[in-house]
Structure 1
């Protein structure tokens, strides 16, 4: 069971399944510290494989981060709108190929 409180939406961006998670920041464990459980719970509910998703989340300080579920790796994406964070993350992933 996830210990963090959050909201999320599943969306398609440029043919990629994206999970956009927002930390509710209500004093519980942060999404950052509970990311594996949060992603597992969402993916189970949505019947998704986490390693096939682009995952971004807005942390309790209002910054967007990316999460690579396959390698348990975090990427700082900065502030702004979630769409900006996803596009930045997709660009970073393309450049690393």
Structure 2
């Protein structure tokens, strides 16, 4: 077996996946944060005024109201991850090996 002979295979997919994970987390986080902050403050204030705790307000009022925005943030991040993975995979010699 030669060190870098004919049987050498590049194994870049795992490195690319880790790098893309670090690159995509800020995008998903900022979009989800924008979705949460776009919920009207009156909904949270009304929930707190009726006696709900901050945790209950978050889980039962804010998250359901912002769920469409959070879902779209995840889908945008997933689509970007797939697109960038394909670009990097083709640039690295089209070797889909882990």
Scaled by the length of structure 2, the TM-score of the pair is 0.22
**Which has a greater percent of strand?**
1
Scaled by the length of structure 1, the TM-score of the pair is 0.22
**Which has a greater percent of helix?**
2
Structure with max Cα Rg: 2
